[in-house]
């Protein structure tokens, strides 16, 4: 059975809200190991007007942000709620980010993410982004869980 969570459940795990909550769904969840995040990139997405007029492209930095949100949701979903209450996940570094093809609205961007390792409050992840089975981007990054204050 494939575990998945919807946007309402993601909002319970992440502090992000519109317009910066980028992931719409987390599917194929393997607890604390991997998942696929769905980002519905729309023609009315907040970045379209300025990036770029008449030829919209999802900014690479937002693809990286979506990777980070997906990883934070995967981690928060997998750990005990008492461990995650009053905590935030912060991006620490980004390694080897590559943007291979432009992500053009209207599309379904699928982010396949995997937790590579964890050491205390520091987690390392890798991910690949696809539209219609075509690789759009990939990256490795690290994040840490910190107290909300």
Q: Residues 16, 51, 77, 119: which is the catalytic one?
A: 51
Question: Beta-carbon neighbour count of residue 56 at 10 Å?
Answer: 22
With beta carbons less than 8 A apart as the criterion, state whether 113 and 125 touch.
Answer: yes
Strand extents, DSSP E, 80-133: 87-99, 107-119, 122-131
Count Cα neighbours of 120 within 13 Å in the Cβ-side half-sphere. 3
Examine the residue annotation and report whether 51 is marked as an active-site residue of this protein: yes
**What are the catalytic residues?**
51
């Amino acid at each position: 059975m494939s575990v998945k969570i919807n946007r309402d459940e993601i909002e319970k795990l992440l502090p992000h809200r519109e317009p910066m909550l980028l992931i719409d769904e987390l599917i194929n969840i393997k607890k604390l190991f991997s998942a696929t995040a769905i980002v519905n990139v729309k023609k009315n997405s907040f970045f379209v007007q300025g990036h770029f007029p008449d030829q919209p492209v999802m900014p690479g930095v937002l693809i990286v942000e979506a990777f980070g949100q997906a990883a934070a949701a995967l981690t928060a979903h997998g750990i005990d709620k008492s461990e995650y209450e009053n905590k935030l996940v912060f991006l620490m570094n980004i390694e080897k980010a590559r943007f291979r093809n432009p992500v053009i609205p209207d599309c379904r961007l699928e982010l396949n993410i995997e937790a590579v390792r964890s050491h205390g409050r520091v987690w390392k992840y890798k991910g690949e982004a696809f539209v219609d089975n075509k690789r759009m981007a990939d990256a490795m990054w690290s994040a840490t869980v910190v107290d909300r204050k």
